Structure 1
């Protein structure tokens, strides 16, 4: 029997990669999103149902016939989380907990929560954290993710499988491209100016994860044995993608077919965490396929070829602020349902 998956945040950076994969695998998909970045990020398909809705207004009838939920929806990245703190807690925490409760009530069998390794916050550089390590979320984004985990994991039972993915920092090409992510931003700077912008001081540890790898894990979790994953937290990434940011920038510069220099900016970044991914490799037999060099070359080629031909939506916080500005202007000048033509 064909299974139906409800994906929230389906038009986002990860969702616009995940949804086509689900459809290719034969799933039916209900794709819920506000589509701030446009509905064109998902191509039409006979098994795809677009639901243009806010996750804070989710209704029980949306879960009819749904077998699994992948709850991607989030205000993404730390700068957006700090500017829109209330909305971040509403969406990243409360809305996802509400979605999980509704899913369980409506008979959905499986719920996947994509969380973040950012909840580890700052860890001594000599320490490698695992899923049992204490958390130390430093930002609104990280704190909201932790609260979502805490609100959803207690829902597990034999009829409702819940699993948490603590994802490393994502990179790689997506139809809803983002250049406010470390590797992606470095690659854009190298292509555009021959300069990789790097936040001081470059010694901070950060695990990285390609968007193709994390969506592969989501597919795997849809069919993984209940007894192996239920109630479990998995760090998702790989040891080869545990980078200090300085050497990471050097690796990207060496991988690209152009001359690149590194340019330092800002105050030292106090977020630093080195993460163990032994659990997911052991439990699910999964290993990441992509490296930072692979991802940088993929993005560079897309820029050179013109596949990435519009960059205005790719800095999330800037786009949110633009939408708010335009919304205010339109409200001020709109009359009788129109602007010029009424």
Structure 2
């Protein structure tokens, strides 16, 4: 009897290059990608310290995306271009830098990706491009960006989509306002800041006038979506935009505050701050279903999750958790603007 020989093909792990990998989303996304058996090149200047776990399939690349070399894109299957100076205060304080990183550097990264044979490019953008809208907005609605942060993201969307080809698939994800725990914690996000204020000080900070609508999305949900898209056939959606969030996480600011109070401390004092925020919009997330994706995590879940981390002393508010304050500090040390 002849001995049968079974030959097995070696499976080559796909390599994913993630910019801004040490940030709020990247610190959740990168471990997800590693668990899904991808190799990851994590590109970041790591302003906020090391938040990523050591792993045999993880390469940390301390580089600025404004001048990253094309050599790092060799044999990369997909790029997730998270890098950005995030939120309006950062954009207002550092408008030139916001334009360079959120728009110019991401357009440059997309061009390099295409030239080097990358198959997929995912651009995480923002629902802030909708500005102030009275009607429920879809991906086809007119955009009304009100800040340099929103305008830089919108310009990146428009110019990067033009690069699509049959061999270079581009997907744009307009993310709702994010919330929830991350190893690179942020307390300058609405739900997170409210939860910290109530838990630590019995004071709930709330932005005037409180009647603005905000679509929200847990950081784990947007990360789950990006990880899912890597192995998905996206050719029929090439160059398309998807709103990322859920109807069950769309609330007025004042109603978000009530959810936080209910889950943490109903007796906390409301502390109003700032000028009335003109951004208010309801977003349709119907198109997201075409990708076979459903968000899982509610505002209630996110608040309870953070409370548990507080109870176990695993998160605390400091300068690094307020993005604009940390940027200002780095700027005084001349470590921020340099490439």
Give the structure 2 partner of residue 49 of structure 1.
Answer: 59
1:267-288 alpha-carbon deviations (Å, 9 max, x no partner): 211110110000002x022111
Give the structure 1 partner of residue 5 of structure 2.
Answer: none
Contact 2:20 2:26 in 1 (8 A): yes
Give the structure 2 partner of residue 59 of structure 1.
Answer: 69
Note the 1:33-112 alignment, pairs <5 A.
Answer: 33-38=44-49, 40-112=50-122
Change (3 A) 1:240 1:317: same
| Whole-angstrom distance in 2 between the partners of 1:240 and 1:109 | 33
Change (3 A) 1:201 1:309: closer
Greater CA drift, 264-273 or 238-247:
264-273
User: Are 1:289 and 2:290 counterparts?
Assistant: no
User: Are 1:277 and 2:277 counterparts?
Assistant: no
| Whole-angstrom distance in 2 between the partners of 1:20 and 1:197 | 32
**Following TM superposition, by how much is the alpha carbon of 1:258 offset from its aligned partner in structure 2, in angstroms?**
6.1
Q: Secondary structure at the match of 1:233?
A: strand
**Following TM superposition, by how much is the alpha carbon of 1:261 offset from its aligned partner in structure 2, in angstroms?**
3.0
**Two-structure CA RMSD over aligned residues (Å):** 1.2
- Where does structure 1 lack aligned partners over 5 or more consecutive residues? 329-342
User: Are 1:167 and 2:175 counterparts?
Assistant: yes
TM-score (norm 2): 0.93
**Following TM superposition, by how much is the alpha carbon of 1:257 offset from its aligned partner in structure 2, in angstroms?**
5.3
More helix by share: 1
**Following TM superposition, by how much is the alpha carbon of 1:259 offset from its aligned partner in structure 2, in angstroms?**
3.3
Contact 1:253 1:261 in 2 (8 A): no
**Following TM superposition, by how much is the alpha carbon of 1:301 offset from its aligned partner in structure 2, in angstroms?**
1.5
| Whole-angstrom distance in 2 between the partners of 1:229 and 1:168 | 20
- Where does structure 2 lack aligned partners over 5 or more consecutive residues? 1-11
User: Are 1:7 and 2:18 counterparts?
Assistant: yes
Contact 1:10 1:32 in 2 (8 A): yes
Q: Secondary structure at the match of 1:12?
A: coil
Note the 1:142-221 alignment, pairs <5 A.
Answer: 142-221=150-229
1:126-161 alpha-carbon deviations (Å, 9 max, x no partner): x10000000000000000000000110011111000
Contact 1:194 1:258 in 2 (8 A): no
**Following TM superposition, by how much is the alpha carbon of 1:59 offset from its aligned partner in structure 2, in angstroms?**
1.0
1:209-232 alpha-carbon deviations (Å, 9 max, x no partner): 000000001012112222343111
| Whole-angstrom distance in 2 between the partners of 1:20 and 1:66 | 18
Give the structure 2 partner of residue 31 of structure 1.
Answer: 42
Q: Secondary structure at the match of 1:65?
A: coil
| Whole-angstrom distance in 2 between the partners of 1:102 and 1:324 | 29
| Whole-angstrom distance in 2 between the partners of 1:207 and 1:22 | 26
Q: How many residues align?
A: 324
Contact 1:3 1:28 in 2 (8 A): yes
| Whole-angstrom distance in 2 between the partners of 1:285 and 1:65 | 28
TM-score (norm 1): 0.92
| Whole-angstrom distance in 1 between the partners of 2:171 and 2:199 | 38
1:94-144 alpha-carbon deviations (Å, 9 max, x no partner): 0000000000000000000000000000101xx100000000000000000
Give the structure 2 partner of residue 340 of structure 1.
Answer: none
| Whole-angstrom distance in 2 between the partners of 1:22 and 1:162 | 19
